[in-house]
Structure formats: structure tokens, C-alpha cells
Amino acid sequence: MAFAANEVVISKDAMTVYGFLMDGMNNSLWRSGVRSIALRSGIRGQKGALYQQTVSGPGGRPVAADFRITEARPGAEVRYAVVAGPARPTGGFYLSTEGNTTRLRFALEYHPKGLRKLMNGIFQKALEGEVAQLEQLKVAIESHSDA
């Protein structure tokens, strides 16, 4: 199993942070590897929404990484699952209010099966790279005009 987590304190209230995270279209504002993203089904910003996403893969090749929002607790939690592509991690954002700020924890996990288990180190590094982008998320939320 591969697992990675990171956290940051954002100078916005939990509901503002939650609203930003619930809209998968915002991924391109903070995740450097996102090449394209579009709402494929469901309602933008709601549980069950499915986003069609293409990310930069090994060697810069485009890779499908569609995801669905699987859990949503306003101001507290947003969970999702990757449903297309070679790796299908699950992840979540966990929010807690600290005065006028929000502590945000981002965690990802992936359970490779079969021969993919031999590549666990590669998956581990990829997850660590994703959660390391949390500083860019902080900047995006704090500077977002709707946030």
C-alpha cells in the first residue's frame, strides 16, 4: 500500500475552503499536472459529481485520471476516488476550524493489486508529489476571488 498526507493552515473559514474543494474544476488552479478537466456527470460541486480529468503521466504522456466525489460533509470533509486510469487512488481533504483559519489535511492512499505491487515505490513517490502541492492549494484558495 502507498500512503501520503500533508497539512496546511489556510487563512479562510472552513466553508469557503470546503466550497473550493467541492468544485473539481478548481483542480487546474493548484495541481501542476492537470492538463484538462471537465464535469462529466452529476452536479458541479456536489457529492456524486464525476470529473473527466487528464493529467501528465510518465514522460509527460497524457493519462486519464477521472474522479468522483464520494463523500461530502460541509465544512469538514471531502473524499473522492479515481475511477479511470492506470492507478486508482482514493483520497480526502479533512478540515478543522482554528479561529479565523482552517487546518486542511490532504491524504491519499493506493492499494496496488497483482504485479502493480512490485511498483509500490513508484506509487508512493507519486502520492507524495500530489500531497506536496498543498501549498499551491493554500495560495489558490486564499487568492481566489470567490473564496
Read off the pLDDT of residues 34-75 as tens digits, 9 standing for 90 and up. Answer: 999 999 999 998 999 999 999 998 888 999 999 999 999 999
Q: What phi, psi does 32 have (nearest 5°)?
A: -65, -25
Q: Pick from 97, 95, 42, 96: which is nearest to 70 by CA?
A: 42
Between CA 4 and CA 109 the distance in angstroms is 7
Q: Pick from 1, 43, 26: which is nearest to 93 by CA?
A: 26
Read off the pLDDT of residues 111-134 as tens digits, 9 standing for 90 and up. Answer: 877 766 667 777 889 889 999 999
Q: Which cell numbers in the block locate residue 52? A: 473527466
Q: Which cell numbers in the block locate residue 16? A: 469557503
**144 has a pLDDT exceeding 90:** no
| Amino acid 143: pLDDT | 93
Q: Is 28 exposed, middle or buried (0-12, 13-18, 19+ CB in 10 A)?
A: middle
- Structural domains for the chain: 2-31+70-143 (3.30.530.20)
Between CA 16 and CA 10 the distance in angstroms is 10
Q: Which cell numbers in the block locate residue 85? A: 486510469
C-beta separation of 74 from 64 below 8 A: no
| Amino acid 121: pLDDT | 73
C-beta separation of 107 from 78 below 8 A: no
